[in-house]
Amino acid sequence: MNGKGPGSRAGKSSGRGQRDLRVRVKTAKGRKLSSKLWLERQLNDPYVARARREGFRGRAAFKILELDDKYRFLVPGARVVDLGCAPGGWCQVAVGRVNALGEKQGKAVGRVVGVDLQEVDPIAGAEIHQLDFLSEGADDLVKQWLGGPADVVMSDMAAASSGHRGTDHIRIVALVEAAAQLAFDVLEPGGTFVAKVLAGGAETEMQAMLKRNFDRVANVKPPASRSDSSEKFVVAQGFHGRGIAADPDQQG
């Protein structure tokens, strides 16, 4: 860097105004305005540009990076399962942080398993499987692939959008609840569950369920999450273990 800030004389000498610093996308004939706005947002998103520079498969990688910077659950030696892992950005982050490739000398070597309904391109240091996590026996398969119970279960999954905000909220809450149920089956006591939800009013029961089963439950919107998005992330830490029933009706 040469120290020439946006207000310096050198910064003004090009004759370009602030408006020229943004990439503009012309609306092609037949292109929907929403598509044009989405493309323009992508081209001007600093996290998208940073993901390209740093070799991540998408901007979502920075969401899990920021969450882990705050809550420190992706530690060397941890066993991690990423549900709905496509395109793989969260797995890429986990590989580096849990030392899955053994590149951090003197640190424990972790393990990362990603599962998704669709095929995902290989990721160095991660074991990727095409699997419906809702299927019978999925929990046993996950533990088999991990070589034991998980320390972290994480999910950036979102249900297919219906275009109706209320419906989409209910669907993603149901998806998070299902992911949490798998987490109860595969997590080691003391483990962490991280999942994306949409802000709304239908997650009260899901939040209560997590609070019964974990020591601490936080709801966070990391900086990488777009300000106009209703998404947030729940980070539940200190899993009580399989002896604590996930369903309140089963508790004595």
Catalytic residues: 196
Q: Annotated binding residue at 116?
A: yes
- Look up residue 154 and give its two tokens: 């994480």
Distance CA 113, CA 95 (A): 9
Quick check: helix, strand or coil at residue 215?
strand
Q: Annotated binding residue at 88?
A: yes
Residue 142 · residue 186 · CB < 8 Å: yes
Q: Annotated binding residue at 151?
A: no
Q: Annotated binding residue at 137?
A: no
CA distances, 213 to each of 79, 150, 240, 245 (Å) = 20, 15, 5, 8
Beta strand pairing status for 231-239 and 214-220? antiparallel
Exposed / middle / buried, residue 15 (Cβ in 10 Å: 0-12, 13-18, 19+): exposed
Q: Annotated binding residue at 132?
A: yes
Distance CA 195, CA 174 (A): 12
CA distances, 87 to each of 114, 116, 123 (Å) = 10, 9, 10
CA distances, 182 to each of 18, 158, 164 (Å) = 49, 16, 27
Sequence ranges of the binding site for S-adenosyl-L-methionine: 88, 90, 116, 132, 156
